[in-house]
């Protein structure tokens, strides 16, 4: 599995298509986490679901970096930010490659 992380509108998807044209995509993982949290799923359940969904074949998981801001006022937003961060750290441990995209430029960090 390949994990691609970066801020919004940084060209992550285009970078993924250029570098991993044959892979299957799990895009906007941060929004998937948000949706599952709204269904009252726990972080570890969401992580398990993602791992289960991406275990067959070559997968590229793409997520926005949402942790680089001021602590949100809303407690659901805080929960979302933390869950997304922790899930990404776990996925990064499992990943064969991790790439970070900044203004369209990818840097392999694992």
Partner 1 sequence: MLTLIYGGSSSGKSAFAEEYVCASKHRNKYYLATMEAKDEESKNRIERHRNLRSGKGFVTLEQSVDIAEVLEAIVHIDSGDFSTSSTGTDSILLLECMSNLVANEMFRDGQVNSAKEIEDKIIRDLMELQNHDMSVVVVSNNVFEDGIEYDQGTKEYLRALGHVNKRISVMADEVYEVVVGIPIKIKEG
The residue ranges that bind partner 1 (CB under 8 A) are 3, 5, 7, 65, 67-71, 75, 78, 81-86, 88-89, 91-93, 98, 100, 109-110
Smaller CB separation from partner 1, 31 or 92: 92
Residue 21 or 75 with smaller CB distance to partner 1: 75
Residue 71 CB contacts under 8 Å (≥ 6 apart), including other chains: 78
Instruction: Between 21 and 50, name the residue whose CB sits nearer to partner 1.
Output: 50
Q: Give whichever of 21 and 71 is closer to partner 1, judged by the CB atom.
A: 71
Least distance to partner 1 from the beta carbon of 37, Å?
A: 14
Q: How far is the CB of 95 from partner 1 (least distance, A)?
A: 9
In the bound complex, what is the minimum distance in angstroms from residue 91's beta carbon to partner 1? 7
Instruction: Spell 79-102 as b/e; 16+ CB within 10 A means b.
Output: ebbebbbebbeebbeebeebbbbe
Q: For tokens 């990943």, what's the residue?
A: 95
Q: Tokens 């998981």 — which residue?
A: 61
Q: How far is the C-alpha of 56 from the C-alpha of 19, rounded, in Å?
A: 19
């Amino acid at each position: 599995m390949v994990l691609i992380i970066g801020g919004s509108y940084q060209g992550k998807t285009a970078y993924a298509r250029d570098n991993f044209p044959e892979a299957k995509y799990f895009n906007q993982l941060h929004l998937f986490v948000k949706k599952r949290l709204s269904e009252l799923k726990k972080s570890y359940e969401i992580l398990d679901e993602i791992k289960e969904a991406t275990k067959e074949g070559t997968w590229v998981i793409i997520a926005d970096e949402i942790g680089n801001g001021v602590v949100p006022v809303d407690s659901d937003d805080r929960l979302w930010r933390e869950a997304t961060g922790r899930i990404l750290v776990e996925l990064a441990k499992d990943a064969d490659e991790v790439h970070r995209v900044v203004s369209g430029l990818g840097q392999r960090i694992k």
